[in-house]
Amino acid sequence: MGLPVKFVERMSRELGSSEAEALCGALGSEPSTSVRLNPFKKFSGKWSARPIEWSRYGYMLDERPSFTLDTAFHAGAYYVQEASSQFAGYILSQVFGGEQNCRGVRVLDMCAAPGGKSTHYASLVGLEGLVVANEINRSRAAVLADNARKWGLGNMVVTCNDSSRVAAFEEWFDVVAVDAPCSGEGMFRKSDDACEQWSEANVAMCAERQWEILQNAFKALCAGGALIYSTCTFNRTEDEDIVSRLMEEAGDEIVEAPEIEVNPQWGVVVGRVGVFQTFRFFPHKLNGEGMFMAVAMKAGERPLRRRTPKPKRQAITALDKKSCEILSQWVEPSAEMRYFAAGEMLYGCRKEHYADIEALSGVLAVIYSGVAMGQIFKGSLKPDGALAMYVGLRRAQVECRELDEEQALQFLRKQELSAEWFNEGINMVLCNGLPLGFVKRVGARVNNMYSNSLRILK
């Protein structure tokens, strides 16, 4: 379908007729396809691709494959993330003076589903860092949790809350990222719905929602912390005007971040709105979709200690010694882990994350944290599928069975599997060395333990 007339008119006024014509032409072309590799899993890619200049593990593909039928995709070896979107990770690494200095950082991704930026931040902060990925929509939060499981780092907490509730963790995060829900002008060539649903009234509605979220996000940011604001729209009402409004509200409390270096050859349009350094992504200037990003910092020094809200409930329970001993056999190094129960599921997390997960679970609706390990029956662990994806899994603990691509797709579809492929008892399914999940063989019968929410339907 054609682009909205009022959108075209506005872009002509803002960019000039020739630039607007080039932009609209690009919005009518085929979208690009890009991925970002998981640096904690052994996979180098198998496509014809070129590196994305601003993303260490990002690649622009020459053509779009069938990701649904790629076992490496289901193993969490890579994420299909748009190239422009990956620039948020570049901002994070540059603010802290390089990727190595991001280790151990605590990040809040306020509008996180489906998880592209969240998993990127999780890779950058390392296993010792923590990413709280919040999504207000329950069904989208469930997809976000599935992607956290597949990414397998165990350093993510997925929450489902209004931004005002997250703001209770006042000045708690080193980085707060807001990829705000927007009118979606930058996605016109990827989504017919974005064109159909666009209107000036919707732009105004989005702007008010963005302002509310950004105010709450700023409350959660600690002194000396970085604020990253982004949208996938070109509209200044939702972009520059929103960050300008925050500057007016925050006054001296918000300051410039270290300058983010951008190679002019990348095609990113760099600007400034007061203390915010801004970045615009136009698909006629670079190989990526339309986006806006901005970065600034909260004034002051990062605190050594941070106040945690008083818990409203006890949502997690530390496990007894015997249960911990059973679970510790499945991970390495086990000395770095703690274990807890949330409902009927048993979880593991790094020791330094336990108090944070306990605090978050006592105030917010947490739907996933650390790594889901499974349940203990008669002294043995029935492993959850997330444990197979976990990068700290001790493979010597379980029978590992390598399947070929077609056999692995049968597993991922939850189709009937041959008992001859497996040994008696619990087996972990691998394809090309990448774990996919578990089965249990009992005689001639094979129980496929793969999650129904992840099952391939085609």
Range of the domain at 184: 84-298
Question: Count of residues for the chain?
Answer: 458
Q: Is 419 exposed, middle or buried (0-12, 13-18, 19+ CB in 10 A)?
A: middle
Considering the domain boundaries, does residue 426 fall inside one? yes
Quote the CA–CA distance of 166 and 176 in Å, as a whole number.
11
Q: Are residues 278 and 217 in the same domain?
A: yes
Q: Are residues 230 and 102 in the same domain?
A: yes
Catalytic residue among 102, 222, 232, 349: 232
Q: Are residues 325 and 442 in the same domain?
A: no
Rounded mean pLDDT, 434-447 = 97
> Following CA atoms 244, 246, 248, 251 in sequence, which dihedral angle do they give, to the nearest 10 degrees?
-130
Q: Are residues 342 and 448 in the same domain?
A: no
Looking only at the bridges linking them, the beta strands covering 366-369 and 156-159 are antiparallel
Q: Are residues 269 and 283 in the same domain?
A: yes
Concerning whether 232 is annotated as a catalytic residue, the answer is yes
Q: Are residues 229 and 152 in the same domain?
A: yes
Q: Are residues 118 and 183 in the same domain?
A: yes
Residue-wise pLDDT for 257-298, tens only, equals 999 999 999 999 999 999 999 999 999 999 999 999 999 999
Rounded mean pLDDT, 36-60 = 94
Q: Are residues 268 and 164 in the same domain?
A: yes
Considering the domain boundaries, does residue 32 fall inside one? no
How would residue 139 be classed by pLDDT, with cut points 50, 70 and 90? very high
Q: Are residues 226 and 258 in the same domain?
A: yes
Q: Identify the domain boundary among 254, 271, 298.
A: 298
Q: Is the dihedral of CA 407, 412, 417, 423 positive or negative?
A: positive
Q: Residue 118 carries which DSSP code?
A: H
Considering the domain boundaries, does residue 205 fall inside one? yes
Give the model's pLDDT for residue 44: 85
How many separate domains does the chain show?
3
Distance of CA 228 to the CA centre of its chain: 14
Q: Identify the domain boundary among 395, 428, 450.
A: 395
Residue-wise pLDDT for 423-437, tens only, equals 999 999 999 999 999
Q: Are residues 326 and 344 in the same domain?
A: yes
Considering the domain boundaries, does residue 6 fall inside one? no
Side by side, which strands form the sheet with 380-383?
317-318, 337-342, 345-350, 371-377, 380-383
Q: pTM (2 decimals)? A: 0.97
Q: Are residues 97 and 203 in the same domain?
A: yes
Which CATH number does the domain housing residue 102 bear? Answer: 3.40.50.150
Which CATH number does the domain housing residue 449 bear? Answer: 3.10.450.720
